[in-house]
Structure 1
């Protein structure tokens, strides 16, 4: 227990989970943390952030790793965060981090509820992990609902573009798609050339020589177009039969929407997402019923 509660050194940590959240949210968290430190007469000496990174595991969170390293060197006395779930959404990792900080004489505070205790950390990290599981469950439920309504559950297959509809009450009804003729012609060409004996590497090489843009679309960064890779690859054309990937094995080109082919788990040792094939009886197929209306590419 520290005897002098004034002039304590503070490290701030901010994190938000996905690129869909406001990129300024980490900065907002740090500003609120600075205000909290000032109110207590403390001095902020370090700031750490992890932007657009899930809190499921510590892996890949450079800001948190740096915070842990500096904690062991005794660089600060208090860590201030918005809430316990900013430290993570994994009970074992958050509680282990808290115990490590406590061992080094470092307190954890949230600017919403003050100093954290062992019990509060255990409870709140459990709640955070449960919320993450609930989010995953709701996401899958929403994707399944879209498939059963014969809509896209997310993502974009080459040859198709988004075709949102307006409902009677003026709301945007997403998930609808329509065929893009220019890209559909390339899809037909790939099937035709493969049928007469051309290999995927030959097809890819010819498309690249002709300058036909590949399936990966340019990414948007604000108003600036950042070109992505537009080259055709063998894997793009051939894919994997059991996984339904690649142009030649994508069942959408045969008129079927397929859902639940794979489940994705994060490896707790690496933090990387790993795909696992689901049993055939768990896979759902439904008539795609995609609009034949044309579109322009670009």
Structure 2
């Protein structure tokens, strides 16, 4: 009978030096199988180290295959290659014996037998104790290195910093300016709003993508932005086999360890503002624990006054172009329609709703109110400062300084030639190199726009940014600030009922009447009135022309015309599409 054998090999650590040892271990196991004249049917080779079996894919595959009829013998170098954990060792042996398979330890040149249970159990305990001591030594070495603070290790793609040599870093100025802008905005706005501002001003991360809200939160929370590195905040616990948090008093703090983007005072102010907003948004002295903002600032706030369902945000494509209208609709209507189990409440246009809420905030809501234009001016002043540092006239100044220095070098070379410091050949070679460099610098200077043109470009860009801020961002920011104190906005066909949180767990509700263009029935009635007006002014007008004037689809206009004809308000004098429209009120008047 030919025995079927498999090989299991694992290195003791994940260091590069262990890769050759792993290959040698595989070779030894395969040679052992050849010598024993067994048939090798599979190999389980693992480069991942570990004191437990968690995360070891090849071991777990072997453990599962013990239940299958794939092999008869498992060949390993020694017991500790399988694991250094007594519990896992006995689980493996239990499955090995129950499935009728055998374990061969080629370094000891023997099979495992039940008589070895005591000895192998002691070895497993000793191996586990060795791993525990090794873990303690490694943790202690980490702590000593952290206390000395000579070399700091953190992700190489840390935004705002660039590694120049071992343990030395310098600021990436463009990224540092973006970080300073983030900290300036963090005093007044949340991470989501800051992400919108950065995207609107074309400030992106290192991959050229818009900043995520969580990425901005990490930037603000990390003290490395003010030059401070905090270590030993958590460590791997050998007993529990998981990362554990270290008490704050045991943290290792190194100030001025790396170049700072902001001062410590600015870092503390931004984090304090974030903490205050978190407390206000999550607690508010009386908010229920289930309160949730959602993806959009109105998510979870808008509720139907007729059926109690929440409103969902939806997009609708415009008839005239490829742009979209953002609307909020009752979820009951979206699922069931307007009849039967559905809901016939109004549809809210988001842009008009923000205008309405902003007017309500200005006229009726006074708590913590701030001037929106003051916000715009502060943000504009800071953005202008950032843009000026990146403009072409700054580059022009640097190039002019470079050109001046190159011409100075030319004079110095001539002096060295005259005094006999360098030979004619060396002078000729160096001058050719220098003249080529001067020529490139002059060409680069010629390509740059003049100062007046650069200032005009800056003014145009600042104008676009101001328009965006005044039209959308500030409006949303002001409404967002008010929404922190709002429990819910109940939507009715003709009004909004806004429920506020007050101090000492009190609440109040305020009624806000909707304009005519919000109310569905009034809106459709106004459409009918306008259609009658178009027909009075031009009796030969077509439905397609009316659709163009109204900015809606042709089917919607035809529906309104049929309704008006059924109501007897209009009629058509003619046949086959030739004739004219008659508004019945006008006919009766005649």
TM value normalised by structure 2: 0.38
C-alpha contact (below 8 Å) 1:150/1:257 kept by paired residues: no
C-alpha contact (below 8 Å) 1:162/1:177 kept by paired residues: yes
Q: How far apart, in 1, do the equivalents of 2:176 and 2:236 lie?
A: 30
C-alpha contact (below 8 Å) 2:178/2:203 kept by paired residues: no
Question: Which residue in 2 is equivalent to 1:85?
Answer: 80
- CA deviation vs aligned residue, 1:91-117 (integer Å, no higher than 9, x gap): 210222123213333222233223343
Q: How far apart, in 2, do the equivalents of 1:249 and 1:288 lie?
A: 17
Q: How far apart, in 2, do the equivalents of 1:163 and 1:81 lie?
A: 46
Which stretches in structure 1 are left out of the alignment for 5+ residues?
1-5, 165-173, 215-227, 239-245, 293-298
Question: Which residue in 2 is equivalent to 1:150?
Answer: 149
C-alpha contact (below 8 Å) 2:227/2:259 kept by paired residues: no
State the SS of the aligned residue for 1:72. Answer: coil
1:132 matches 2:131: yes
Question: Which residue in 2 is equivalent to 1:194?
Answer: 186
Q: Structure 1 residues 190 and 110, CA, compared in 2 at 3 Å: closer, same or farther?
A: farther
Q: How far apart, in 2, do the equivalents of 1:128 and 1:160 lie?
A: 43
State the SS of the aligned residue for 1:122. Answer: helix
1:249 matches 2:221: yes
Task: Report which of the two structures shows the higher radius of gyration computed on alpha carbons.
Answer: 2
Which of residues 247, 251, 259 in structure 2 aligns to 1:283? 251
1:71 deviates by 1.7
Q: How far apart, in 2, do the equivalents of 1:79 and 1:29 lie?
A: 14
The equivalences for 1:115-264 within 5 A come to 115=110, 116=112, 117-156=116-155, 157-164=158-165, 174=166, 176-182=167-173, 183-195=175-187, 197-207=188-198, 210=202, 212-214=204-206, 232-238=211-217, 246-264=218-236
1:48 matches 2:48: no
C-alpha contact (below 8 Å) 1:89/1:128 kept by paired residues: yes
Q: How far apart, in 2, do the equivalents of 1:161 and 1:83 lie?
A: 46
1:10 deviates by 0.9
The equivalences for 1:96-107 within 5 A come to 96-107=91-102
Q: 21-30 or 54-63, which moves further after superposition?
A: 21-30
What is the count of residue pairs matched by the alignment?
251
- CA deviation vs aligned residue, 1:15-46 (integer Å, no higher than 9, x gap): 34665435566554332211111112211112
1:152 deviates by 4.4
1:76 deviates by 1.9
- CA deviation vs aligned residue, 1:182-221 (integer Å, no higher than 9, x gap): 44333323212223x232123334556736335xxxxxxx
C-alpha contact (below 8 Å) 1:95/1:121 kept by paired residues: no
TM value normalised by structure 1: 0.70
C-alpha contact (below 8 Å) 2:171/2:259 kept by paired residues: no
Which of residues 47, 65, 74 in structure 1 aligns to 2:60? 65
Which stretches in structure 2 are left out of the alignment for 5+ residues?
261-590
Q: How far apart, in 1, do the equivalents of 2:4 and 2:209 lie?
A: 50
1:30 matches 2:23: no
Q: How far apart, in 2, do the equivalents of 1:74 and 1:289 lie?
A: 59
Q: How far apart, in 2, do the equivalents of 1:25 and 1:232 lie?
A: 44
Q: How far apart, in 2, do the equivalents of 1:162 and 1:286 lie?
A: 18
C-alpha contact (below 8 Å) 2:234/2:245 kept by paired residues: yes
What's the RMSD between the two structures over aligned residues?
A: 3.3
1:49 deviates by 2.9
Q: How far apart, in 1, do the equivalents of 2:24 and 2:5 lie?
A: 17
Q: How far apart, in 1, do the equivalents of 2:10 and 2:210 lie?
A: 35
1:281 deviates by 2.0
- CA deviation vs aligned residue, 1:228-284 (integer Å, no higher than 9, x gap): 99663322221xxxxxxx21121222332212222344897xx7x4x4332222222
C-alpha contact (below 8 Å) 1:144/1:153 kept by paired residues: no
1:9 matches 2:9: no
State the SS of the aligned residue for 1:232. Answer: coil
Question: Which residue in 1 is equivalent to 2:339?
Answer: none
